[in-house]
Amino acid sequence: MTTEITLNLQRHYLTIAEAMRTIMSFDGEGRLILAFRDGTNYTRGLSGEVLLKCVVGPGHKERRRLSDDERRALLTELLAHTRQMIERVEATATPAAHDWFERIRRWDVARLEADRERFRTVYKPISILPPDQYRALVLQATEGCSWNRCHFCTFYRDRPFRIHSPASFREHIHRVKAFVGAGLALRKAIFLGDANALIIPQPRLRELLSVVHDEFAIGPEADYKGIYAFLDIFGAERKTLDEYRELAAAGVRRIYLGLESGDETVFRLLNKPGSPAESIEAVRVIKTAGIAVGVILLVGAGGDRFAAAHVQHSLAAIAAMHLGPEDIVYLSPLIITPDSPYLAQLQDAGSSPLSATAINDQLDQLKRGARAVVGSGAKVVIYHIEEFVY
């Protein structure tokens, strides 16, 4: 019995499926971007990395990036399967579908792997984004992190901090456009990278945002709905209300701040700059300027000794921010690497990392508590950093 092949032909992407058990999606260039096979989801980023995600038991998911050998083997199988599906439907397909088929057939594993290498000439590593921005177009106005000393974070250890000049930023944008090509149409927002791009002094930031507007149409009715960025607390107090209002007028729609913990002791263990009180004040100023916020809390921060204080004071900080419908609270389970400076700090403080069960329990506490203090306003969302690939 022959299984049915279905096409979902959209303006900016094509999905081809076999009996809804195998599903492949491709961007406007014909690059494979998503696949579902045998109960497992695969996401292939612009970087060429492939993320696997599947359920391995009740309440448990596997999330990991494939190794080089796994990635190449999988891509070989998926592209071969795609060609077989195309062959079965092309005789009756529309001219528009045939155009997509030609784009898809131009890609083999060698070209996908070469594209992966090309990505590295366009971007410095894109270490992390907020989940609602995974499909944004990243423009690296800065590279790295100007603080880069948080004990729990190793995302930016491999590069010095740099702020682009307007000329070098425009050159970067042109390389991004050339690389992403027709895949640009899938990107609906601009994310200004890297770790805390809005720390850029306002005169330079004004110039860089002007470059963005020169290169892209941004607005509610435009292709790109807004500009988004991270900001660390030690940079937040450096901008005035009027400066944030200027950013709002320039299309900045949401700023993401790593509160991590509302407890002073835990905050210091993490070696975060600033303080929870400064975080609350920064959020209030940003929101007064008409910009939404995304506030990130680390689940498990402070370990067992400080668990109760972490939950209590984090929820109090969230409540004090008076968040609204456009705001997001992200709850991100803390992942500790064996060589993390944070682990040594935790042990010196007489605390131990939470077990997986305790992490889940605290996640439930924070989720229920955060939803209670924001009421029907801000969203409360789980943020698994292992699920990110750009």
Question: How many C-beta neighbours within 10 Å does residue 268 have?
Answer: 14
Give the pLDDT score at 2. 66
With a cut of 80, say whether residue 221 has pLDDT above it: yes
- Portion of the chain with pLDDT greater than 70, in percent: 98
The residue-averaged pLDDT of 69-74 equals 98
Tell me, what's the pLDDT at 13? Answer: 95
What pLDDT does 281 receive?
93
Average pLDDT score over residue span 97-111: 96
Q: Is the pLDDT of residue 168 over 80?
A: yes
Which residues have CB under 8 Å from 29's CB, separation 6+? 103, 180, 181, 182, 183
> Is the model's pLDDT at 339 over the cut of 80?
no
Average pLDDT of the segment spanning 92-121 = 96
Of residues 1 and 314, which shows the higher confidence score? 314
Residue 328 pLDDT grade (very low, low, confident, very high; cuts 50, 70, 90)? very high
- 1 has pLDDT over 60: no
Residue 147 scores a pLDDT above 80: no
227 confidence band (pLDDT: 50, 70, 90): very high
Omega before 158 within 30 of 0, i.e. cis: no
| Chain segment 109-128, per-residue pLDDT in tens | 999 999 999 999 999 999 89
Q: Residue 374 — very low, low, confident or very high, per pLDDT cuts 50/70/90?
A: very high
Determine the Cα–Cα distance for residues 339 and 327; give it in Å rounded to an integer.
34
Mean pLDDT of 373-379: 88
pLDDT higher than 80, residue 179: yes
- What mean pLDDT is predicted for residues 254-271? 95
Query: Which pLDDT tens digit goes with each residue over 48-65?
Result: 999 999 988 887 889 999
144 exposed, middle or buried (CB, 10 Å; 0-12, 13-18, 19+)?
A: buried
Taking 70 as the threshold, does the pLDDT of residue 235 lie above it? no
- For residue 241, pLDDT over 60 is answered with yes
Give the model's pLDDT for residue 232. Answer: 83
**26 — pLDDT class (breaks 50, 70, 90):** very high
What pLDDT, on a 0 to 100 scale, did the predictor assign at position 382? Answer: 96
* 368 pLDDT more than 70: yes
The pLDDT assigned to 236 comes to 58
